[in-house]
Amino acid sequence: MPRDLYVSMNGCDTASGSRDEPFRSINHAAQIALPGDTVTVAGGEYREWVRPARGGIDESRRIIYRAAPGEHVVIKGSERVTDWQWVSGTTWQADVPNLLFGDFNPFAIELGGDWLVEPDPYRSSEQPAKHLGEVYLNGRSFHEVSTYEEVFDPIPRTTYLDHWTGLDGKESDPTATTFVWYARVFDGHTSIWANFQGADPNLELVEINVRSSVFAPTARGINYVTVQGFELAHAAPQWAPPTAEQQGLLAPNWAKGWLIEDNLIHDSKCSGISLGATSSIGDNYSLIRGNKSGYQYQVEAVLAAGNAGWDKEHVGSHVVRGNTIYDCGQTAIVGHLGCIFSVIEDNHIYRIGAKREYFGHEIAGIKLHAAIDTVLVHNRIHDCSLGIWLDWETQGTRVSRNLMYSNNRDLFVEVSHGPYTVDHNILASPASLEVVCQGGAFVNNLVGGSVRLEVVLDRSTPYHLPHSTAIAGFGVVSGGDDRWIGNIFIGGNLDDAYRPGGVHHSTATYGTAGYSGYPASMSEYLAGIDRTLPDHAQFLDVRQPVYSAQNVYVSGARPVDSEWGALVLDTPATLRVIESGKGSRVDIDLDIPEAALGASTSVVTSADLPPTCVSDAQFEDALGRPLQLDVDLVGAVKSRDVKYPAGPLAGSLRPGVTRVW
């Protein structure tokens, strides 16, 4: 019979676990819980790593971990430090016994892994390193400095730029702070020096990272677990590239069917939630061996995943819903391979990668590789280095009804072959879309910034049989094979999106004009193939068809030359996002001509979206049913018999202020 187990700050781990005799630690309950059991945790602050020993059997026999109704439960990977000694000025020192850390001392472990750029993983011993440790003053995280001397006279930490756009794009605003720390590890203790800028650390709450995770099994295959209603904070997981085990503050660890719901997750050194890869598919071999590219090792990782149980029966099908995730250094949600068939919805994600202590090519609010049949719906993402980054094998993926703004970039889809669908979103950052892939359908979006296109002929990436992890083939991205229907594009100044003179600046535009010269149909595409060339050369660097209809272009945005039914208005227009009150309400202030909002499009279905060229697949939902894109950003359902304005709102979009969240 299913049991109810209880945990309380006043409990004892030798007790029975009943309501009257609760356990003291959540992890103790996690070693006892069986399929069907519910673990209810009373309010309080628990400093531990919860490592479930087993999971549920199916959806009806889960193991549920939940905060007691109406009570605030905090689980932290940090410990409090109270014995600080004043050194000089505003700098203090604490000598922490290494016994506190056990076999994991984050102040001794350097940040590192494939695709980490700064600090340089190939640095010499003289170059500064970053570590997984962290110091917090009343919840505020400090910056690590490279030398003992810097702690006493810190220069405001401008740290690193968002180099993925920064070297060739728009320089991001740096983070400036003089709250800094430095550490040295000795045989028996770790000395930490921190500049508290006038605060007395013995009178305030000062905490340091101690654990790599807060809620994560160490064994694989712990399925059907629910984590509900907690605050989870202060973890030190390692950098999470797709070619290694992807650690997280909270992580299923290569499992199936987790429900992660209504949690407050913050202050992970790297990733908040990991739905990602297992170490059995690779372990940073590009960095460690240095004998071939990370791209090649990632191809090997995808092929090795089959031996690690990469299929719908064993991995993925997670639901990540209703969480608030902020102040993580790399990602709020990361996943390679293990995120398949999942739903990520109604999450509020902000300040990810914003601290800029380090940089690598895996930083975003949500960063997923191989998001096969994964749905990202109604998430609010802002003030991040990058909003959503979908990389490799974006197939059957749907990005729907999301609000993204005040990011360095909003949505980046890379080296994939589709089909994937982007519908009813507001993308309001100066750099709104980067399409470095093919096989997409963009329907009823409001695109307030630039659109950048790029072909990739030097990396051949996998595509799959529909709704499957089985690999059907490999292909390069020659460009095109995209569908654009019923979107609103607002023009602007590319200098606001990318650095003038950079490569990214030169490949971006406003609207769909970047596709001009591409074929407008499959028959036109086929007619342009030079059949006198050798087989493999006939299709090299040949652009694929672009299907574009009934989009609206204002304020300098322009359509592809072959578009049918485009509405082009040169009237100036602007889009501004307004957060109200405590930020739970969001409005947009849309200065746009009334003529741009006239009725123009019917509900788009699979019948309006030609199949993809390379992956040769239909636009369908995860169950193989035809798509019907009939729910707008705020949840209004459209009728098949009615025409609606372009953009993400069925009837309420208008000039002026409109509530969207």
The answer to whether residues 175 and 156 touch, using CB atoms and an 8 Å cutoff, is no
**Burial degree of 518 (CB within 10 A; 0-12, 13-18, 19+):** buried
DSSP conformational letter for 59: T
Alpha carbon distance 288, 206 (integer Å): 36
CB neighbours of residue 470 within 10 Å = 11
The answer to whether residues 483 and 610 touch, using CB atoms and an 8 Å cutoff, is yes
β pairing state of 91-97 and 189-195: antiparallel
- What radius of gyration do the chain's Cα atoms show? 25
316-347 pLDDT per residue, tens:
999 999 999 999 999 999 999 999 999 999 99
Query: In 205-284, which ranges are continuous DSSP H helix?
Result: none
Alpha carbon distance 14, 22 (integer Å): 9
- Whether the per-residue pLDDT at 83 is higher than 60: the answer is yes
Looking at residue 120, its pLDDT comes to 73
Alpha carbon distance 219, 251 (integer Å): 11
Looking at residue 475, its pLDDT comes to 96
Four-residue CA torsion sign, 591, 592, 598, 600: negative
342-367 pLDDT per residue, tens:
999 999 999 999 888 888 999 999 99
430-454 pLDDT per residue, tens:
999 999 999 999 999 999 999 999 9
Looking at residue 651, its pLDDT comes to 83
Question: What does 420-485 look like in DSSP terms, one character per residue?
Answer: EEEES-EE-SSEEEEEESS-EEEES-EE-SEEEE--EEEEEEEEESTTSSSEEEEEEE-S--EEEE
Instruction: Classify 148 as helix, strand or coil.
Output: helix
- Phi, psi (deg, nearest 5) at residue 606: -60, -30
- Whether the per-residue pLDDT at 32 is higher than 70: the answer is yes
Residue type for 122, please?
Y
- Whether the per-residue pLDDT at 140 is higher than 50: the answer is yes
Residues constituting the chain: 661
Its pTM stands at: 0.97
Range in 26-30, 168-172, 368-372, 625-629 with the lowest mean pLDDT? 168-172
Domains in the chain with CATH codes: 4-76 (no CATH), 79-209 (2.60.40.1180)
Looking at residue 404, its pLDDT comes to 98
Instruction: Classify 603 as helix, strand or coil.
Output: coil
Cα angle 212, 216, 219 (rounded to 5 degrees) comes to 110
41-57 pLDDT per residue, tens:
999 999 999 999 999 99
274, 396, 625, 524: CA torsion to nearest 10:
170
More confident residue, 121 or 557: 557
Q: Mean pLDDT of all residues in the chain?
A: 94
- Whether the per-residue pLDDT at 380 is higher than 50: the answer is yes
Alpha carbon distance 225, 76 (integer Å): 19
Looking at residue 292, its pLDDT comes to 95
β pairing state of 488-490 and 446-447: parallel
Looking at residue 547, its pLDDT comes to 98
Alpha carbon distance 53, 63 (integer Å): 11
Alpha carbon distance 133, 114 (integer Å): 20
Number of helices (H) and strands (E) in the chain: give both, helices first: 7, 54
- Whether the per-residue pLDDT at 163 is higher than 50: the answer is no
Alpha carbon distance 341, 467 (integer Å): 9
Residues 6+ apart with CB under 8 A from 601: 444, 485, 486, 550, 643, 644, 645, 646
- Whether the per-residue pLDDT at 167 is higher than 70: the answer is no
Looking at residue 168, its pLDDT comes to 43
Alpha carbon distance 240, 247 (integer Å): 6
Q: Two tokens at 371?
A: 């998001």
Range in 137-141, 354-358, 416-420, 607-611 with the lowest mean pLDDT? 354-358
Residue 233 pairs in a beta bridge with 76, 266
Q: Two tokens at 600?
A: 């123009």
* N-term to C-term CA, the chain: 42
Question: What does 377-393 look like in DSSP terms, one character per residue?
Answer: ES-EEESSS-SEEEES-
The answer to whether residues 66 and 41 touch, using CB atoms and an 8 Å cutoff, is yes
Range in 84-93, 288-297, 391-400, 493-502 with the lowest mean pLDDT? 493-502
DSSP conformational letter for 166: H
Q: Two tokens at 304?
A: 């090795």
628, 632, 635, 641: CA torsion to nearest 10:
-60
Rounded to an integer, the average pLDDT of 262-278 is 97
Looking at residue 123, its pLDDT comes to 66
pLDDT band at residue 212 using 50, 70 and 90 as cut-offs: very high
> Which candidate, 228, 216, 227, 286, places its Cα nearest to that of 254?
216
Which H helix or E strand runs over 526? helix 522-527
- Whether the per-residue pLDDT at 157 is higher than 60: the answer is no
DSSP conformational letter for 163: H
Instruction: Classify 251 as helix, strand or coil.
Output: coil
Residue type for 320, please?
V
Q: Two tokens at 97?
A: 């016994």
Looking at residue 124, its pLDDT comes to 62
Rounded to an integer, the average pLDDT of 380-409 is 97
- Whether the per-residue pLDDT at 516 is higher than 90: the answer is yes
